[in-house]
Structure 1
Amino acid sequence: MARVLVPLAQGCEELEAVTITDLLTRAGVTVVTAGLDENPVKASRGVTLLPDTTLDDVNADEFDMVVLPGGLPGADYLDADPRIHAILKQLHQQGKYTAAICAAPKVLAGAGLLDGRQATSYPGVLDGMNLPQVAVMSDAVISDDKVITSRGPGTAMDFALELIEQLKGREIRNEVERGLCR
């Protein structure tokens, strides 16, 4: 069974975090949410999220994918955490998936995972950085090899469906999508 790690930082975008977790779970993926510390996570719009565990208590080798929700200042906290960069690099080196939405693709860029790739993010995030080695696009979702990026809260469902397709195949994606009445 596929396993996905979703790190949750204070100020993350709750719509993205919950949509990713919900849709992956509907697809039969085991999702583990991990806070950067032991505290409940107060998301960007004031919703309190209770992570399953802490980042210190996860073993990155047990996951097939890591997905970073965006939102500010959540993405900034993820980017400033060396454990996140280490996990991203480790999974990437193992040929596993890394994914980020909204402001969080800047964390992938900071870890060097967007070099030579196409990527998207919330308007102004990636294109506001000096990243000449990254083809910044305006697509809703971009999957470039095993690095997947998306624009923001409005693309969270499409992003989560793409994650499902990459992990479980088109048939499971279609099954989940039918259940959503899309």
Structure 2
Amino acid sequence: MAKKVLLIIPPERFNEDELFQPKSALENANMEVTVASTTTGTIVGDNNGTIHIDVTLNDLDLKSFDAVSVIGGSGTNDFLWNNESVQELLKEAYSQKRLIAGICAGAVTVAETGLLQGRNATCYPVDVQKEKLKEFGVTYIGEHVIAHEDIITGDGPDGAKAFGEALVANLTK
């Protein structure tokens, strides 16, 4: 049976590389990918790329997914940081032994859950994100990907390919 992965994007201004490169890697590994947000319709990315969203986060059954990942972009800071619904969804998925991941600002969204406290992670190398990790007890490491057995973080567009590969490697072992 094919593995199923949920990619969460903000309702506007997602990062195209951080979404489409991991999505491609997962699909090339014959995994089923669902992209969802807090709203449906066409969502425009930071660089004017688009994706159509048919399902909101509230409409999903987490039990059907093997992994949940939060994608970055400038909209992630505005819409997914401090979002209690997203934090609860991530904690619930984690409690169900699902792989959790976040890239760029999405790594901060994961850190906000407390699941990364006392652990190493990466994010986009800007002070606001690095400080947010520190605020939640996470040690910032300046690498493209930090992969634990249960949580993977990626740094941003430059590491998006490696982030996708890490997701595939974890889900196919």
TM over 0.5: yes
Choose 1 or 2 for highest CA Rg: 1
Letter in 2 for 1:70: G
Structure 1 residues 147 and 36: CA distance shift in structure 2, 3 A: same
Match of 2:27 among 18, 25, 28: 25
Structure 1 residues 41-50 or 157-166, which shifts more? Answer: 41-50
Of 84-93 and 72-81, the range deviating more from structure 2: 72-81
Equivalent residue letter for 1:139: E
Deviation at 1:11, TM superposition (A): 0.9
Are 1:2 and 2:6 an aligned pair? no
Matches within 5 A, 1:28-43: 28-43=30-45
Deviations 1:59-103 (A, max 9, x none): 111111111111112343122432211110011112221101111
Secondary structure of residue in 2 paired with 1:73: helix
| SS in structure 2 at match of 1:145 | coil
What letter matches 1:156 in structure 2?
A
TM-score, with structure 1 as normaliser: 0.86
Picking from 106, 109, 114, the partner of 1:107 is: 109
Identical pairs, percent: 29
Instruction: Answer whether contact 1:69 1:75 (CA < 8 A) is retained.
Output: no
CA-CA distance at 1:117 after TM superposition: 1.0
Residues 18, 75 of structure 1: CA spacing in aligned structure 2 closer, same or farther, 3 A cutoff?
farther
Establish whether residue 142 from structure 1 lines up as the match of residue 146 from structure 2.
Answer: yes
- Is contact 1:88–1:111 with CA below 8 Å preserved after alignment? yes
Q: Distance in 1 between matches of 2:27 and 2:53?
A: 15
| Alpha-carbon shift at residue 132 of structure 1 (Å) | 6.5
Compare 126-135 and 22-31 and name the one that shifted more: 126-135
Question: Structure 2: how far apart are the matches of 1:29 and 1:152?
Answer: 22
* Residue 48 of structure 1 pairs with residue 55 of structure 2: no
Partner of 2:17: 15
In the alignment, which residue of structure 2 is the partner of 1:172? none
SS of residue paired to 2:165: helix
Runs (4+) of structure 1 moved beyond 4 Å?
A: none
Task: Give the counterpart letter for 1:28 in structure 2.
Answer: N
Distance 1:144 1:25 in 2: 22
2:166 aligns with one of 147, 157, 162: 162
Provide, for residues 109-142 of structure 1, a one-character-per-residue CA deviation record: whole Å limited to 9, x for no partner.
1111110211000012442224372121011100
Cα deviation, residue 161, structure 1: 0.4
- Name the residue aligned to 1:91: 93
Partner of 1:117: 119
Deviation at residue 108 of structure 1 after TM alignment: 0.8
Which position in structure 1 is the counterpart of 2:155? Answer: 151
Aligned counterpart, 1:127: 130
**Contact 1:41 1:50 (8 Å CA) reproduced:** yes
Cα distance in 1, alignment partners of residues 120 and 59 from structure 2: 33
> Aligned letter for 1:166?
N
Q: Which residue of 2 aligns with 1:63?
A: 65
